[in-house]
Structure 1
């Protein structure tokens, strides 16, 4: 974070006039903040490299909209802008999960049999097995290990201990696997 006030204010001024090197130097001053916020606000499918680019875009907007001369105010403004961007990304991902009302349909007679465990078709069983084989084939060894533990009911904390990794790594692996499975089920 910002330590030398006059030098950092000079970085800000130089970045405002379009100096790319000074912009990157200013961004580097906030690298720990950017990483800390990414870790604090978990968003599925948001890799750190993507967040890093988002943070640079936010910094660019903040630089051009900030008219003050106090580096502390600027730092607070940038931090709040980053939090706002994370919340926007989260809301956008949540909105993508909603099914539009016009695509919803009421259940028919045959649907109730399926839901209540009526007829199980051999084709459905084969399709499930093929989908499982495909997700195993396209997943990395780490993703397979995480998946194997979680489908047996193990908690994320247990998986972290067992595989000696962070919670973020487990959540990212599950998110990637979920995305792959959705594509498999969609026939992509």
Structure 2
């Protein structure tokens, strides 16, 4: 009973006097709960300091929402709120991941549509990539005959059935074109 009244006293100090010291004591008291919740979830690019900051904010908000007169314990309420907050952060991260995956396109599609991440294919056979201009004719000079034909197909100047090669040869030439193009941009 004494522990519950100590928690309630600290909560009231935070709630009514905006006491940073009381919040710090309360947060440190429930740090094992925080550590337990943190260990249960992984969010990309979220380090321990980010988690601690989020937990601190949740602890502060929990002080203002907690009503000790209803017989509940602050620790349980804080644990529930922190777990729910962690799930919300995870949902946001997964939604962002889904959005990125939904907006992704293949390299071939990007070339055919005359643009790709960080670059643009111009009508005069130049490529602007990462703010540098590259000459496609120069690049194509380093391709084999079949790779040149396949690259023209990727750019939309030829159809696959116009290339005198089997499907496997076209796929191999396509892979080689991608590798050579990426090497050319380096």
TM over 0.5: yes
| TM-score, structure 1 as length reference | 0.55
C-alpha distance 85-123 of structure 1, shift in aligned 2 (>3 A): same
Greater Rg over alpha carbons, structure: 2
Mapping for residues 67-106 of structure 1, pairs under 5 Å: 67-69=67-69, 72-97=72-97, 98-99=99-100
Q: Which has the higher contact order (CA 8 A, sep 6+)?
A: 1
SS in structure 1 at match of 2:73: helix
In 2, Cα distance between equivalents of 1:125 and 1:31: 50
Q: Is the 8 A contact 2:62 2:77 kept in 1?
A: yes
Which runs of 5 or more structure 1 residues have no equivalent in the other structure? 131-188
Structure number having the greater strand percentage = 2
In 2, Cα distance between equivalents of 1:124 and 1:100: 22
1:118 aligns with 2:173: yes
Cα shift at 1:104:
5.8
In 1, Cα distance between equivalents of 2:95 and 2:89: 10
Determine the structure 1 residue equivalent to 2:11. 12
Give aligned pairs, total. Answer: 125
Runs of 4+ in 1 over 4 A off after TM superposition: 100-109
Structure number having the greater helix percentage = 1
C-alpha distance 95-75 of structure 1, shift in aligned 2 (>3 A): same
Determine the structure 2 residue equivalent to 1:41. 41
Cα shift at 1:40:
1.3
